[in-house]
A and B are shown apart, each in its own frame.
Chain A
């Protein structure tokens, strides 16, 4: 089909028109794309020609390490969920932990020192959670009243023991059975804020459902079970995360979520978890 057309004979008018148009289009668009527009950046000075062409090609000029100073690195915790850490926690002796826990009982058990419920109940809480929080208090990554001093007085083995002790007990906290919670009433269209946040979250604001990590249903290591916890305590912690007072959450997971919540939503979510524990307790 092609040989008889003289497609490449540039003395014919149509090949001339075609190839000249091609050259003009490529030249003009390349000039604009690689030389003119690639130079301009949103917040910085225009680039020189060489860097502009590189940028136009996609050779990442701007992905190199930035020249400006970075804020100092701040680690939220000294705990990482390595096998060594888990082995340390598993080595906890609940009997011995019982003796250590004498220090804790005054505030964490009974209500005499805890009338406003701002101190969490620990009976039945996962050992990993208690171990991590004690480590964070010890290293100053989390601060709260007397807890920093108490944690400093405990050795790592003491922490593991007392964590094992509380984990072995049963109380108002709903045990982490790993079971999936029933499916009803778990959707975005749930009108109750508490269960909606707990089970569906709010994807528009990047709020993951609480239950994905804190149960019921889903549990992630280091995230405390919340069903049955004091609502006032949960609400206070959410507010602390939101305001950046508490910063020992790995990858800022809780700060990122809590910042998105309104005070009313924090209250509803907290109330939901408190209520859930009671409901289930009465059922049993």
Chain B
């Protein structure tokens, strides 16, 4: 692990330390929305909580996790110390400062604008500055990933970059593209209003800029899971990766199709023309390519492992897999959730079908199932895989780890399937209070209660996760187990330049962005669609208003 050990450990711990309270907030929010009595029965607290839960899960947990994972992957896959470790620590400090600023602002109740900011809602400047610092600080990580890959290529001319390193650099590049939207929104629209340089805010422009981030950030979250699919899962299964080239193509396609598709989050926005909405909807469907390629590739890799372990017949390789390994169990559960969540996603990204479920609880159901479920369960598996390498101590208990993964899987389904259904019944998202005595809402009540039970299962699982990680770290058996990545069936000897770097793909992506976003963003300089800001900085808590 060279010098990445402490870096990875600190990053992971920030991520998981934020994760557990954020899960608790989520459960409380579900209680608040349910017919059951909730402690601190206050809608203002609900919106503060939604903001904190979203900010924590979407920005803090994921960014820190990806950064920690990136440092670990860089050192282990390249087999040498990270270059720029000092810069990495500076980035860590900046991100942590930003996180603390944002969290303090939300807790003070002066930034309940939800984690997607929603201009012309206007919260405390500390919140936006904190978020800008957190995202800006992670750009140091982006640069370090690129620098490390480039340096390795210089030192190893003609050799293929290891797939894990190639993939984490793709993640970094993707994040740079993705974050450009929110950073431009902050610096160009929100912060000037916060600091009094402008009087009004262009909500349409801000939303369009944020849409650049809004979908690609999801792929940024998802990339560590995919890296695990390609490089850790076949190894844990005791087999080999089916194809190294497929892996490279997958990560390249994610890079290409992650960013120029964000307008599918703006189907209901009046400023964007129908043509651009359709084009981006069309491009969104192309993400099926890397996804299906991955599902195929992983199943093939697992089949190789299963047959190698003695599985016979058409499906006999499945039971032959080492299901007691957390990584294998996680990938199985993850693919099931990916299937259901992906199916729901097809509805969301369709220009016409979206209107059925727009702004209903279907949406949080979808992204909780696919991100909170399929992706985060892989984060857990990665943590279990990494922990012995980082701490030098074995995992406390694989049995507990399996329990934890199963609980998360079950909890996520019990939570999100009812949300999908209530979404189809029309229950709006981001609403604190419902009157379930109303005949229109009464049929939703049992489903909502069911989802609260799911939330409690998830909370149990989250507590279990932290327990396992702490107990493993406090254990005293010392272990030396280097992290190994899966070899491909045909290990790459020489790969084309295009599959060994990102220059071509960045150029193509730039063209995509110019074509897809050039006009939709430029039009705001003529539309004059600025509106007065709506300040949410002076909300007081008002208990018992219902």
A32 touches B278 (CB 8 A): yes
Q: Give the interface segment out of A7-15, A76-84, A229-237.
A: A7-15
Report B-chain residues with C-beta under 8 Å of the C-beta of A191: 437
Tell which of B153, B273, B441, B506 touches A56, judged by Cβ atoms closer than 8 Å: B273
Chain B's closest residue to A6 (CB) is B497
A1 touches B501 (CB 8 A): yes
**Least CB distance, B176 to chain A, in whole angstroms:** 14
Report B-chain residues with C-beta under 8 Å of the C-beta of A37: 274-275, 278
Q: Cα distance A33–B278 when bound, in Å? A: 5
B274 touches A12 (CB 8 A): no
Chain A's closest residue to B496 (CB) is A14
Given contacts A25-B286, A55-B274, A56-B275, contact A7 B545 (CB under 8 A): no
B496 touches A34 (CB 8 A): no
**Least CB distance, A181 to chain B, in whole angstroms:** 13
B498 touches A12 (CB 8 A): yes
B504 touches A30 (CB 8 A): no
Residues 193-236 of chain A: 1 if any B CB is under 8 Å from the residue's CB, otherwise 0? 00000001010100000000000000000000000000000000
Chain B's closest residue to A13 (CB) is B496
Cβ of B515 within 8 Å of any chain A Cβ, yes or no, is: yes
B505 touches A18 (CB 8 A): yes
A58 touches B276 (CB 8 A): yes
Cβ of B499 within 8 Å of any chain A Cβ, yes or no, is: yes
Report A-chain residues with C-beta under 8 Å of the C-beta of B279: 26, 29-30, 33
**Least CB distance, A239 to chain B, in whole angstroms:** 23
B146 touches A7 (CB 8 A): no
Tell which of B271, B503, B508 touches A19, judged by Cβ atoms closer than 8 Å: B508
Report A-chain residues with C-beta under 8 Å of the C-beta of B149: 1
Report A-chain residues with C-beta under 8 Å of the C-beta of B433: 188
Given contacts A18-B504, A187-B545, contact A204 B274 (CB under 8 A): no
A5 touches B501 (CB 8 A): yes
A30 touches B275 (CB 8 A): yes
In the assembled complex, 22 residue pairs joining A and B whose CB atoms fall closer than 8 Å, in A order, are A1-B150, A1-B502, A5-B501, A6-B497, A7-B497, A7-B507, A8-B504, A12-B498, A15-B504, A19-B508, A25-B283, A33-B276, A33-B278, A55-B273, A57-B523, A58-B272, A183-B544, A186-B546, A188-B437, A189-B435, A189-B546, A191-B437
- Which positions in A face B, CB cutoff 8 Å? 1-8, 12-15, 18-19, 22, 25-26, 28-30, 32-34, 37-38, 53, 55-59, 183, 186-189, 191, 200, 202, 204
- Which positions in B face A, CB cutoff 8 Å? 146, 149-150, 153, 271-279, 282-283, 286, 433-435, 437-438, 440-441, 496-508, 511-512, 515, 519-520, 523, 544-546
